[in-house]
Amino acid sequence: MRAILGSYDSELTPAEYSPQLTRRMREAEDMVQKVHSHSAEMEAQLSQALEELGGQKQRADMLEMELKMLKSQSSSPEQSFLFSREEVDTLRLKVEELEGERSRLEEEKRMLEAQLERLTLQGDYDQSKTKVLHMSLNPASVARQRLREDHNQLQAECERLRGLLRTMERGGTVPADLEAAAASLPSSKEVAGRPRPCP
């Protein structure tokens, strides 16, 4: 690598020497950094593989010792048969337990998938994968705000009218502005004589 850099250095003129050299040095440092990180990653993978291999070897040694122990214990055919039957029964129970656990987990998985599908259909989303943009002037938000304001105004008007009704029921006087508004309303005969609008 140094020989290659040296041959390039001999070809450069003094004016372009410094920027070229700096750029090449930076590239070489980046390359060295990448090689180091790749080497560290490979070492980590190698150590993990060695750990797994050690675990497998330990398990194989244990199984081999167990096999030797079983062979030494099977002195008579009858004992061997009894031990094998016990072992088979134990393994059968273990298999049944694992089958039950697997069935339970499959059912739970199916329910979770159905729940996820239902949530997706309802508009739920994974915030880590989906970005939702909110409009600054969202028509639905504006309409909801207008409905809230109208509702509040109507409630205030209802409260005012209830208060006025209570006052009138107690024998209080009707305010002047309400009498003026009532005078401008058509009489009940005029209202009854008007044609009804078609539904």
Q: What is the pLDDT of residues 63-116, one digit of tens each?
A: 888 888 887 776 555 555 556 778 888 888 999 999 989 989 999 898 888 888
Tell me which of 198 and 171 has the higher pLDDT: 171
Cα(176)–Cα(29) distance, integer angstroms: 92
Do 12 and 20 contact (CB within 8 A), yes or no?
A: yes
Domain map of the chain by residue range?
1-73
pTM, 2 dp: 0.27
Mean pLDDT of 128-147: 79
Identify the pLDDT of residue 189. Answer: 64
Mean pLDDT of the residues in the chain: 77
Host H or E run for residue 101:
helix 77-121
Question: How sure is the predictor about 14, in pLDDT bands with cuts at 50, 70 and 90?
Answer: low
Mean pLDDT of 39-55: 85
Do 83 and 73 contact (CB within 8 A), yes or no?
A: yes
At residue 199, does pLDDT exceed 50?
no
Mean pLDDT of 13-38: 77
Cα 20–chain centre separation: 49
pLDDT in tens, 150-174: 999 999 989 988 888 888 888 877 6
Cα(184)–Cα(173) distance, integer angstroms: 19
Sorted by sequence, the CB contacts under 8 Å of residue 168 that are 6+ apart come out as 174
Mean pLDDT of 108-128: 79
Do 58 and 46 contact (CB within 8 A), yes or no?
A: no
Question: How sure is the predictor about 129, in pLDDT bands with cuts at 50, 70 and 90?
Answer: confident
Sorted by sequence, the CB contacts under 8 Å of residue 8 that are 6+ apart come out as 20, 24
**Nearest 5 degrees, angle CA 130-CA 133-CA 135?**
160
Identify the pLDDT of residue 48. Answer: 86
Identify the pLDDT of residue 126. Answer: 65
Closest CA to 28 of 60, 7, 2: 2
Joined tokens for residue 142: 């504006």
Mean pLDDT of 104-130: 80
Mean pLDDT of 3-18: 62
Q: What is the DSSP string of 108-159?
A: HHHHHHHHHHHHHHTT---TTT------TT-HHHHHHHHHHHHHHHHHHHHH
What DSSP character marks residue 196?
P
As to burial, measured by CB atoms within 10 angstroms (0-12 exposed, 13-18 middle, 19+ buried), residue 21 is middle
Tell me which of 33 and 11 has the higher pLDDT: 33
Mean pLDDT of 7-34: 73
